[in-house]
Structure 1
């Protein structure tokens, strides 16, 4: 479990980020990072505020694959990675977990932080800003921590699976798959620690962006 996904897995040289950004600026993605959540949907917006992600983003990310859409999906993935990394950082720092649970949380924390760095490097100036989070007592209560970790990891796996087929650029697809497989390992490990079946099904069901955002909104973790 010590292997990490690093920015080296992203073939930035073959990813036409500049072109994707130009297409994005000409379309629905705004001029600033925060504008991504306000202008990601035609005729509506998606923004972080008051603990709610207004789900306008799916309109773009469920359209025909394009470089512009790749930018939108990568920012969607970055937001989920922000959430997961912040959760594990806080849990490890709080000191409420110990033993194998702490060891696992520390490894996953490092992975998620690396995922964030990699996605931000690929997106450059179009990377959305990190939201503010409030995890309540889920990072200070060992039982709630495990339950939340299972929910976040399962959702993350389903989220990557849902958007993978919508990506256009090969470099982005390879990068997303390399993160997706690690997220699946995280999910299996935290499920085992929680006393759950580590792989309950032979086939995982993908979730759309709309479904994932509904789950994320429901946690109340994102504060703005």
Structure 2
């Protein structure tokens, strides 16, 4: 399997360009083109169970009973909803990755992965449980971000179709590490585009969990669990280089026609 952190070979260039276009289309569908200029340059369980607890920094106007959107006057979503859709695009990718991989490989296969051969039995026995926890976290992230996007007046982007390309447990673990490290850097790069402090804080809470995933996966893949003192940010284009390899379908736009849709106030995101 080609290392997911490296560029495809020349023979794979046409497929690579196609997957990049599809991922770029996913980002465009999520309405996040504007965050490209805000991205930085490259260089206990803790699982949330509902929407992010992100009260609005600025009170929103309460619509009257007669207010409604028309074909030419649709209420735009909160701009932070678009940034969260960028995050959601990546969270869907990770969520499906673990869902499919943990269904394909049993605990015994994961513990016997060649890449874990230098570790003792205690750690190898813990790997399947830890990966299951990581998978549960990714599903929780999808649920929380989706709920918050809705409460900000946006529409969550949906799952795409994916091909992760692994065929062995070791390749699965290597791809997991690449995805987690990419996700951490993507959150760092997108942070400057978030307008509300409460949304930024909630996103940082998810990023910190992703960083712990990345640290564990770095360790079991034979890499440093903490490669630098300061996390490097990735631009949208840099995220595309890695994540775009795995998306094989278009992603529907989260901004469908809102003709004659009644206005709904953008209030405090849901909590549980």
Query: TM-score, normalised on structure 2?
Result: 0.59
Correspondence 1:109 to 2:135: yes
1:3 to partner: Cα distance:
2.4
Q: 1:179 aligns with which of 176, 181, 206?
A: 206
Counterparts of 1:80 and 1:108 in 2: how far apart (Å)? 14
Q: Is residue 2:171 matched to residue 1:128?
A: no
Q: Is the 8 A contact 1:5 1:178 kept in 2?
A: no
On the 8 A contact 1:153/1:184 being kept in 2, the answer is yes
User: CA separation in 1, counterparts of 2:157 and 2:218?
Assistant: 30
Helix, strand or coil at the partner of 1:14:
coil
Match of 1:48 in 2: none
Shift of 1:141: 1.1
How far has the Cα of 1:11 moved from its partner? Answer: 2.3
2:46 and 2:75 map into 1 onto residues whose CA distance is 39
Instruction: Give the whole-Å Cα distance in 2 for the aligned partners of 1:15 and 1:6.
Output: 23
Measure the CA separation in 2 of the matches of 1:81 and 1:222: 16
**RMSD, aligned α-carbons:** 2.6
Residue aligning to 1:208: 235
In structure 2, relative to structure 1, the CA distance for the partners of 1:7 and 1:171 (3 Å cut) is farther
Q: Of Structure 1 and Structure 2, which has the larger fraction of its residues in helix? A: 1
Which residue, 53, 56, 60 being the options, matches 1:14? Answer: 56
| Pair 1:168 & 2:168 matched | no
Kindly state the Cα deviation for residue 12 of structure 1 after the two structures are TM-superposed.
4.5
The alignment covers a number of residue pairs equal to 178
1:143 equivalent in alignment to 2:178: no
Q: Does 1:82 align with 2:92?
A: yes
1:88 offset after TM fit, Å?
A: 0.6
Unpaired segments ≥5 residues, structure 1: 30-66
TM superposition shift of 1:128:
0.9
Query: Hey, what does 1:58 align to over in structure 2?
Result: none
Name the counterpart of 2:21: none
Cα distance in 2, alignment partners of residues 135 and 5 from structure 1? 26
Contact 2:57 2:198 in 1 (8 A): yes
Bigger RCO of structures 1 and 2 (CA < 8 A, at least 6 apart):
2
TM superposition score normalised by structure 1:
0.71
Contact 2:134 2:213 in 1 (8 A): yes
Q: Secondary structure at the match of 1:132?
A: coil
Between the aligned partners of 1:108 and 1:203, the Cα distance in structure 2 is 23
Match of 1:63 in 2: none
| Correspondence for 2:46 | 3
1:189 paired to 2:231: no
Q: How far apart, in 1, do the equivalents of 2:191 and 2:203 lie?
A: 7
CA offset at residue 15 of structure 1?
7.0
